[in-house]
A and B are shown apart, each in its own frame.
Chain A
């Protein structure tokens, strides 16, 4: 390729003017890289055109570049000033932000803790409430029983039969309150000792002549009953009541050696 002829063709002047096509521009660029003479020629042409265009400039305003930098928010000259102003602001926001998050975290933690505490308090209260409800229920029941007893004691139709201690069990006693109209007795056995293991007290209704005992049943829950007053069905025309100690389950007929208390119905 004749480099000189290429240069003389005037294509490089058009290249600097921007008057060539995109394709031609690429060709010129490639040749510039290969041939230093072409590159140098382009640089010389460019320098002349820079001078040419500048020759008609009315002169740039002082501070024009500062204006440009301001528009672009570039401020190299005032960097120190900007930093000193910006930094405290940044720190203030940062610290406040961190402080707020920590306070928030602590607050949240406290709230969660408090919530757990309250939940457990509620649980305790509920348990206490149910306990109290049970107690009230018990009390109501006890009150009911007590009222029944009182009504029994005050009832004129009730026959009272004291049972006195017999033989070896002289210092024991019991009492029967016989409600004939409703065919039941209330047996007060507070004066009897706790039966030995494997033994129960058995209650008997007796006819005196001839002596005929009829079992009214055993007192199986003697140990656990609080007031030791037992309500027992009695449809017999009893003339006396006796209490014996029998093996668990009771006996067909009373074991007379183990007769604790006995009492005769005085009025019929």
Chain B
């Protein structure tokens, strides 16, 4: 079934389509959330909330505004950030570091967890430092191009081409 059709059915509250989309994107959302909250249980909880939220506000999505994956990713990042700002989270989790997403891949217990992720994780770890920075801000933190340009102190044009090259590198890795 084409993605467009799947999304339309999901918007008409079709459970099968919903489950299909969950299978496609739940790991990505969990990854993005986990990178922000850095707690297994909290990440699971937020990820479930994100899909519940997506179900309820499915009619606010329009393909003209962007990709469905991007829409979901945006909900996930916002929910995760909201969680880190909540009272109970602040008291229990003070040790959030500025560690980039690759830090997760370097910790062993995480790699035990997912065998099929080890493949790509191996490649992701090989990405250049400058790629890791820009990918972290644009995809994991949800920075706009302007925000990323300010954070990394480089022109927007440079951000765009650098990001393009980094993703291209990643694609080459994945394709293999």
Which residues, 1 to 36 on A, are CB-close (under 8 Å) to B? Answer: 8-11, 13-22, 25-26, 29
Q: Is B82 an interface residue (CB 8 A)?
A: no
* Contact residues in B for A76 (Cβ distance below 8 Å): 15-16
How many angstroms from the CA of A58 to the CA of B31 in the assembled complex? Answer: 7
Could you pull out 18 A-B pairs where Cβ atoms are within 8 angstroms? A10-B160, A17-B142, A19-B143, A44-B171, A47-B174, A48-B174, A49-B28, A49-B139, A52-B170, A53-B29, A53-B139, A54-B31, A56-B121, A59-B113, A60-B26, A60-B27, A60-B47, A65-B51
* Contact residues in B for A26 (Cβ distance below 8 Å): 64-65
Q: Is B164 an interface residue (CB 8 A)?
A: yes
* Contact residues in B for A20 (Cβ distance below 8 Å): 144-145
Question: A-contacting residues of B (Cβ < 8 Å)?
Answer: 15-16, 18-19, 22, 24-32, 34-35, 40, 43-44, 47-48, 51-52, 55, 63-67, 69-71, 73-74, 101, 104-105, 110, 113-114, 117, 120-121, 124, 135, 138-140, 142-145, 148, 159-164, 167, 170-171, 174
Q: Which residue of A lies closest to B147 (CB)?
A: A19
Of B35, B52, B174, the contact of A68 (CB 8 Å cutoff)? B52
A15 and B161 in contact (CB under 8 A), knowing A53-B32, A57-B117, A58-B40?
A: no
Q: How far is the CB of A68 from chain B (nearest CB, A)?
A: 5
Query: Is the CB–CB distance between A29 and B63 below 8 Å?
Result: yes
Interface of A is mostly: helix
* Contact residues in A for B64 (Cβ distance below 8 Å): 25-26, 29
The 6 closest A-B pairs by CB, nearest first: A10-B164, A10-B160, A57-B31, A54-B27, A53-B28, A56-B31
* Contact residues in A for B121 (Cβ distance below 8 Å): 55-56
Of A25, A55, A60, the contact of B105 (CB 8 Å cutoff)? A55
Q: Is A86 an interface residue (CB 8 A)?
A: no
* Contact residues in A for B48 (Cβ distance below 8 Å): 64, 67-68, 71
How many angstroms from the CA of A55 to the CA of B101 in the assembled complex? Answer: 9
A-B pair count, CB < 8 Å, reads: 162
Of A19, A25, A48, A74, the contact of B167 (CB 8 Å cutoff)? A48
Query: Is the CB–CB distance between B160 and A52 below 8 Å?
Result: no
Q: Is A61 an interface residue (CB 8 A)?
A: yes
A60 and B30 in contact (CB under 8 A), knowing A10-B163, A19-B145, A49-B69?
A: yes
* Contact residues in B for A19 (Cβ distance below 8 Å): 138, 142-145, 148
Q: How far is the CB of A37 from chain B (nearest CB, A)?
A: 15
Query: Is the CB–CB distance between B139 and A52 below 8 Å?
Result: yes
* Contact residues in A for B124 (Cβ distance below 8 Å): 52, 55
A57 and B27 in contact (CB under 8 A), knowing A18-B74, A19-B148?
A: yes
Interface size band for A: 35 or more
Q: Can you add 6 more A-B contacts, CB < 8 Å, to A19-B148, A45-B167, A64-B26? A: A16-B69, A26-B65, A42-B67, A49-B167, A53-B28, A59-B113
Q: Is A211 an interface residue (CB 8 A)?
A: no
Query: Is the CB–CB distance between B31 and A55 below 8 Å?
Result: yes
Which residues, 189 to 204 on A, are CB-close (under 8 Å) to B? Answer: none
Query: Is the CB–CB distance between A71 and B26 below 8 Å?
Result: no
Query: Is the CB–CB distance between A51 and B120 below 8 Å?
Result: yes
A17 and B70 in contact (CB under 8 A), knowing A52-B120, A52-B124, A60-B27?
A: yes
How many angstroms from the CA of A253 to the CA of B86 in the assembled complex? Answer: 134
Q: How far is the CB of B124 from chain A (nearest CB, A)?
A: 5
Query: Is the CB–CB distance between A65 and B161 below 8 Å?
Result: no
Q: Which residue of A lies closest to B68 (CB)?
A: A46
* Contact residues in A for B171 (Cβ distance below 8 Å): 44-45, 47-48
Query: Is the CB–CB distance between B163 and A14 below 8 Å?
Result: yes
A14 and B174 in contact (CB under 8 A), knowing A25-B65, A58-B114?
A: no
